[in-house]
Structure 1
């Protein structure tokens, strides 16, 4: 034994989860279960509404539909295991289960790219309104979404294949509620310097590059809005972007905090808090962020309600 490690190969991991707060176990379980149910209900409801209402068959809601689907996959990769672990004495997960969970949680890379694509959509709508339909054609929207998913999954696979080369010889306790790369790097008895560097590089490529696209898009958007003569016109134009800007701030702020700083034992508590935010809270908030002040969504809900009442009466 050297430094708490031995030469026995690890075949499973133990997730510490929220065992630091045993007195609040039932409260935390209730809160997280409620959040997971709301996340599923709101995102599925949003996807159904977009599919049913023909007025929402536009590029903006096409991307929003994909974001809702991605959030469902994202939260479902971690939340069910986290919830079941509240009532497990030993919160174990197999090496293969850990690998699969890490892969799906890495779909956050896809969300980075999707948020950048949505920023370009906002740019086209505000800066090129007369050409918006021609620019954001159905074929281009489809190609953008395919490219977003392909790029995100490719980035996830690079990290996944590299992490499979790591050796684990104990200890096997992950100070987290799911298998995530920063925690696996700390537990590995291999030289993880290359993977640490690669983690940082991928965070830069996906996070910073996506943010750059978003910032360039919004620099053009702000310049265009400032040229609008009426205050009401400027407010209306900027109001169409506030939801997306809020979602971008929440997601990138918490995600970049976790993946762009070096992983040390004393940073894991902050990592866990940030991870709760971007894996559980943000997928729940996204439908609210995009719908609460959205007149088109409210009008679509009214039309669906009228159809339901009319159908019930007949």
Structure 2
């Protein structure tokens, strides 16, 4: 990555049209961020501590909880820092790192959603072959592939964004360093970077969404063929939670990166939903509503209370 710049830091101006609301936003986002961290850490604790949850489905849910812990941590701590009245400055390297890890974790999580859809497809459509197909080596390989795809995607976007010359204004009219907010500050032609960003994000999102649709179409056909009402209801319940989480993840991507003309306020609201609210809801949608996870958490709490009293 070549660095051609006449300044060494960017100034994050924050969420558009929220002047004077810094204290209120700080309180709201602090609680949301802490709830996100707590919810996902509880899920990880439940999965790790219970041998009954050491299955492919919960293996992927555990990795999703890791993503949902790391993803908001890319932008939220810095946002809370300047909302509390501290410096809004972010170094040049810090801005590049923020953009890289945002797209790395976001795209890796999108790939993981596709992997989880495939896992549900195998579990419902091929139940007798589920464990041989989704054996531990395959599960680890799929997660590693998601990480590698996310890393490649983020590397391409970051290199095209920060190979440009940045001079003059260093004021980012946003609450974190993202491509639509940083590229307008470039002194050189940024049309190629914009095209690469839109094409890359759009292609990856559509490809992953297409793979999810294929899996869930096959799942839907299989559910309709299930004669047992209880079996169909259980299969639908398992998949509906995952599908809801996927819609919450892909909706913001489509609105932000594929809209014809950028709207800063709309983009900021959607990004906040994507960065903070969606990871917080995932812990409720995907796991904490699950009976096995709640049973495991109760055992963890009972053991902790018993040890403390002993």
Q: Same fold (TM over 0.5)?
A: yes
**Are 1:123 and 2:121 matched, yes or no?**
yes
Residue 4 of structure 1 corresponds to none
Structure 1, residues 30-49: CA drift from partner, whole Å, max 9, x if none? 00011111111111111111
CA pair 127-185 structure 1, distance change in 2 beyond 3 A: same
**Are 1:51 and 2:54 matched, yes or no?**
no
Q: 1:269 aligns with which of 242, 265, 270?
A: 265
What is the correspondence of 1:51-70 to structure 2 with a 5 Å cutoff? 51-70=48-67
Distance 2:16 2:197 in 1: 28
CA pair 153-199 structure 1, distance change in 2 beyond 3 A: same
Residue 152 of structure 1 corresponds to 150
Distance 1:288 1:141 in 2: 23
Distance 1:19 1:229 in 2: 53
**TM-score of the aligned structures, taking structure 2 as reference length:** 0.93
CA pair 308-249 structure 1, distance change in 2 beyond 3 A: same
CA pair 298-87 structure 1, distance change in 2 beyond 3 A: closer
**Are 1:278 and 2:247 matched, yes or no?**
no
Distance 2:282 2:251 in 1: 15
Structure 1, residues 201-223: CA drift from partner, whole Å, max 9, x if none? 21123211110110000000000
Residue 5 of structure 1 corresponds to none
> Residue 164 of structure 2: SS of its match in structure 1?
coil
Distance 1:261 1:10 in 2: 31
Residue 104 of structure 1 corresponds to 101
Residue 295 of structure 1 corresponds to 291
**TM-score of the aligned structures, taking structure 1 as reference length:** 0.92
> Residue 93 of structure 1: SS of its match in structure 2?
strand
Q: 1:253 aligns with which of 232, 237, 251?
A: 251
Q: 2:208 aligns with which of 207, 210, 213?
A: 210
Task: Please tell me whether the aligned partners of residues 53 and 300 of structure 1 are also in contact (alpha carbons under 8 angstroms).
Answer: yes
Distance 1:298 1:22 in 2: 41
Tell me the CA shift for residue 309 of structure 1: 5.2
> Residue 11 of structure 2: SS of its match in structure 1?
strand
Tell me the CA shift for residue 171 of structure 1: 2.2
> Residue 78 of structure 1: SS of its match in structure 2?
helix
Tell me the CA shift for residue 72 of structure 1: 1.4
Residue 71 of structure 1 corresponds to 68
Q: 2:172 aligns with which of 171, 174, 178?
A: 174
What is the correspondence of 1:12-91 to structure 2 with a 5 Å cutoff? 12-18=9-15, 20-88=17-85, 91=88
**Are 1:11 and 2:1 matched, yes or no?**
no
Distance 1:100 1:113 in 2: 21
Unaligned runs of 5+ in 2: none
Task: Please tell me whether the aligned partners of residues 182 and 263 of structure 1 are also in contact (alpha carbons under 8 angstroms).
Answer: no
> Residue 165 of structure 2: SS of its match in structure 1?
coil
* Equivalent residue pairs, number: 306
Distance 2:208 2:121 in 1: 14
Q: 1:165 aligns with which of 163, 166, 176?
A: 163
Tell me the CA shift for residue 300 of structure 1: 1.6
Task: Please tell me whether the aligned partners of residues 228 and 234 of structure 1 are also in contact (alpha carbons under 8 angstroms).
Answer: yes
Task: Please tell me whether the aligned partners of residues 183 and 263 of structure 1 are also in contact (alpha carbons under 8 angstroms).
Answer: no
Task: Please tell me whether the aligned partners of residues 196 and 262 of structure 1 are also in contact (alpha carbons under 8 angstroms).
Answer: no
Distance 2:86 2:303 in 1: 50
Distance 1:84 1:313 in 2: 39
Structure 1, residues 81-116: CA drift from partner, whole Å, max 9, x if none? 000111336511121111111111112111110110
